[in-house]
Structure 1
Amino acid sequence: MSVFDDLVGQPDAVAELTAAVAAADGDPSVPAAAMTHAWLFTGPPGSGRSVAARAFAAALECPDRGCGHCAHCRTTVAGTHADVRSVVPEGLSISVKEMRAVVQLAARRPATGRWQIVVIEDADRLTEGASNALLKAVEEPPAHTVFLLCAPSTHPDDVSVTIRSRCRGVALRTPAPAAIAEVLVRRDGIDPEAADWAAAVAGGHVGRARRLATDPAARDERTRILSVPAAVRALSDVFAESTELLGTAKQAAAGVAERRDAAELEALRTALGAGGTGKGAATAARGSTGAIRELERRQKLRSTRTERDVLDRALVDLSGFYRDVLTQGLGARVPLNNPDLDDDVRTTAERIGPAGALSRLEAVLACREALELNVKPQIAVEALMAQLLAGSAVPDGR
């Protein structure tokens, strides 16, 4: 058993990280240069960037180089290790205030393990100020501190050139469906047939495959999204489909809020002395207003991000469908992203042809870009539906 067992279809990355752990452990058979203080994990969504970073962190802390069952391995993977700090933005970005606090804590000596490790799961969400705060720490790192950054790519829009130049890159690839199906069966106990189907339609995203295989609501959501191309036939459908898609995103955000917000607020109030009696209770209650407002602000940002993530997942499904239509129209002999929708793909290809598929695919990608630029979701989604109806994307005016 190893902490790297759940890193699906990444043998080259596992070999590099294993060598780095051995070098950090003083193994004379491995060059000392195999280990460094800053790493950048890149790869497409679902390739396992954060899984790789956490597994690497666990192996560095583990006296047996990642056995998978000791306290260091278990707490690191679970996110509760005292010397491994994770930065996961609940909003749309990572603020300079948050990054400064993490960097300050990372400068301390390890409490229980051998390293202070900082895992930044969405380094592409760092603001300019946060990037600058991190850069100072990466340039002059404490002796026992390791920074593990995760981002979609090494493009300057994702990670600044200055930070990237100080990190060693680990490029992950999209895992094969067979590798995903194998881990679903082995680790999650999923029926082989269901695992094969989920792996085939998940687009190489391990987490998505697991959710599709285990959650009926996820399967229903996918079915509903992939029915949009056939449903948009008139102008009235543009607004009806937009409203339903936006409503689905809001419902998902509301579900997250229902599960977490009330419990977080109650826990904070209790920590601040709510319900207490005695001489200082009234003063403590008055002083808690600012902390409660800050929590509510962060919860609102988390809700916004959840909505955007649901919309983005829907757009990824749509882009995969139109990619299938395009390949079918061109007669390309490549596997489909949605092999279970072969008849729908063929029918749509006959109806709109390769040019129509390409223009619609461009429209979907343009909508994703608009959402990344913080265009109001209602405007972006309604524009997309109108373009799907018209069959051509709005020309780029930049």
Structure 2
Amino acid sequence: MGFWSEIVGQPVAVEMLDRAASYEPGAAAPAHAWLITGPAGSGRSNLAYRFAAALIARSESDRDRVFAQVKAQTHPDLGVLTTQAAIIKIDAAREVVTTAHYAPSDGRYRVIVIEDADRMPEHTSNVLLKAIEEPPERTIWVLCAPSEADLLPTIRSRTRLLRLVTPSIEDVAQLLQNRDGISPERAIQAARLAQSHVGMARRLATDDEALARRQDSIKAALSVHTLGDAMAVAASLAKIAQTDADALMDRLDAREREEAMRGLGLAPGAAIPPRLRSQVKALEEEQERRRKRSLRDGLDRVLTDVSSVYRDVLMAALSTAEEQDLINIEFSRAIADLAERWVPEQALQALDAISDARGRLMRQITPGLVMEALFARVVMIHNRVIDAHRKVQM
């Protein structure tokens, strides 16, 4: 299945969606609404857009051409609802619901992809619910969310659920080798450090600066022992996150613009005809909104990396992991030292602290304050262990 080859570790999902998009005469029509769930990095959005292209294309041979337009979000039969803010606003939902009633102009179906269905507050969800309850004949909805629990029960009950799993490190590494020409050693390292997140693994495998920033984050997290350390590390990680976010946005913006120009049939650097300027302007506005959220996204990536440290400490403290089972093998000695000083409960408390910090970032609390509070809490956890050891020695 060459068309689906970049969907990693999801054979059951691919088979189901490929069958649903069948071109066989007399084949049953696909469900009018789908909900694709799975952990970060499992490929929810990528799978949704592949499925959209397969549904729109009029033949199997036409899938790749359609996907190029779908990926650039320039296909006339594709609608997309997403956001770079904390929530999807009701006006955006109303607009896409209106377009759902248009008949497909080029393909078999009109497909509406909602990338961040978990970011819809109840009043926004109710707008979508009405559209799904009374679907147009040739419109198909594809929703993406981390879990079905993130959506209203009334929406869940009207969709066909497809749960994705976390791909294996080996599967992700193989994709990097086959698609991007990465060496086996670098591919395995990137897949391991990214915890099987496909997009992040590719970035770590192809961007030496991104890999170096991740390693700096791990070093910083392992250096926290005092309150002074906590404040310094919080500032250091915020700087790393901003640098990483800026670098990612620059590359992403350039690639999206190039793909959009190609999808519109324009050569790189060509003048944009007046009739196409609104589409390019919409892309630029979306990129600007995304940049405003980039620091929080960058900090969330940093916190994911830091949580892998305390996951490794927990595994080592429980004596359930060999060195090769660690995510951060490069820091195995420092992790083993911390595991000897900490008991498993402290590592769990540190993981809870990171989870709380990520929740605060989602609630729009000032990032600097979130990071300072997190590492101050880590220091308290560290000091409780020291105090406990001192009491034992007395």
Above 0.5 in TM-score?
Answer: yes
Report whether the alignment pairs 1:337 with 2:343.
no
Task: Provide closer, same or farther for how the CA distance between residues 8 and 328 of structure 1 changes in structure 2, counting only shifts above 3 A.
Answer: same
Letter in 1 for 2:314: L
Equivalent residue in structure 1 for 2:172, among 163, 180, 194? 180
Alignment of 1:57-206 (within 5 A): 57-65=52-60, 68-69=63-64, 71-155=65-149, 158-206=150-198
Letter in 1 for 2:311: R
Task: Provide closer, same or farther for how the CA distance between residues 271 and 18 of structure 1 changes in structure 2, counting only shifts above 3 A.
Answer: closer
Alpha-carbon deviation of 1:48?
A: 0.4
Q: Who is 1:3 aligned against?
A: 3
Contact 2:310 2:350 in 1 (8 A): yes
Equivalent residue in structure 1 for 2:200, among 199, 203, 208? 208
**Identity over aligned pairs, percent:** 40
Alpha-carbon deviation of 1:252?
A: 4.5
Select between 55-64 and 335-344 the one with higher mean Cα deviation. Answer: 335-344
Q: Who is 1:384 aligned against?
A: 374
Letter in 1 for 2:57: C
Taking the aligned partners of 1:150 and 1:295, their CA distance within structure 2 comes to 21
For 1:6, what is the secondary structure of its paired residue? coil
Alpha-carbon deviation of 1:353?
A: 2.8
Task: Provide closer, same or farther for how the CA distance between residues 211 and 255 of structure 1 changes in structure 2, counting only shifts above 3 A.
Answer: closer
TM-score, scaled relative to structure 2: 0.83
Alpha-carbon deviation of 1:37?
A: 0.6
Alpha-carbon deviation of 1:393?
A: 11
1:218-266 Cα offsets, whole Å, 9 max, x none, are 11121111112322122222221112222333445555777869x9xxx
Letter in 2 for 1:312: D
Equivalent residue in structure 2 for 1:225, among 217, 239, 242? 217
Task: Provide closer, same or farther for how the CA distance between residues 304 and 359 of structure 1 changes in structure 2, counting only shifts above 3 A.
Answer: same
Equivalent residue in structure 2 for 1:39, among 34, 37, 44? 34
Letter in 1 for 2:177: V
Letter in 2 for 1:102: V
1:194-241 Cα offsets, whole Å, 9 max, x none, are 111111221110001000000112111211111123221222222211
Taking the aligned partners of 1:295 and 1:107, their CA distance within structure 2 comes to 23
Alignment of 1:287-298 (within 5 A): none
Alpha-carbon deviation of 1:11?
A: 0.7
Q: Who is 1:49 aligned against?
A: 44
Alignment of 1:249-264 (within 5 A): 249-253=241-245
Taking the aligned partners of 1:296 and 1:60, their CA distance within structure 2 comes to 28
TM-score, scaled relative to structure 1: 0.83
Report whether the alignment pairs 1:237 with 2:229.
yes
Alpha-carbon deviation of 1:66?
A: 6.8
Task: Provide closer, same or farther for how the CA distance between residues 133 and 255 of structure 1 changes in structure 2, counting only shifts above 3 A.
Answer: same
Taking the aligned partners of 1:318 and 1:331, their CA distance within structure 2 comes to 20
1:171-210 Cα offsets, whole Å, 9 max, x none, are 0000011110111111111122211111122111000100
Taking the aligned partners of 1:333 and 1:255, their CA distance within structure 2 comes to 35
Select between 140-149 and 219-228 the one with higher mean Cα deviation. Answer: 219-228
1:63-109 Cα offsets, whole Å, 9 max, x none, are 3347653x223322343222112223122221111111111112101
Taking the aligned partners of 2:38 and 2:83, their CA distance within structure 1 comes to 19
Report whether the alignment pairs 1:247 with 2:247.
no
Letter in 1 for 2:352: E
RMSD of aligned alpha carbons? 3.1
Taking the aligned partners of 1:80 and 1:168, their CA distance within structure 2 comes to 26
Contact 2:172 2:191 in 1 (8 A): yes
Q: Who is 1:283 aligned against?
A: none
Task: Provide closer, same or farther for how the CA distance between residues 329 and 253 of structure 1 changes in structure 2, counting only shifts above 3 A.
Answer: closer
Contact 1:40 1:169 in 2 (8 A): yes
For 2:305, what is the secondary structure of its paired residue? helix
1:315-353 Cα offsets, whole Å, 9 max, x none, are 111111101110111111472222333222212111223
Contact 2:86 2:362 in 1 (8 A): no
Contact 1:44 1:152 in 2 (8 A): yes
Select between 202-211 and 235-244 the one with higher mean Cα deviation. Answer: 235-244
Unaligned runs of 5+ in 2: 258-272, 276-280, 385-394
Contact 2:4 2:14 in 1 (8 A): yes
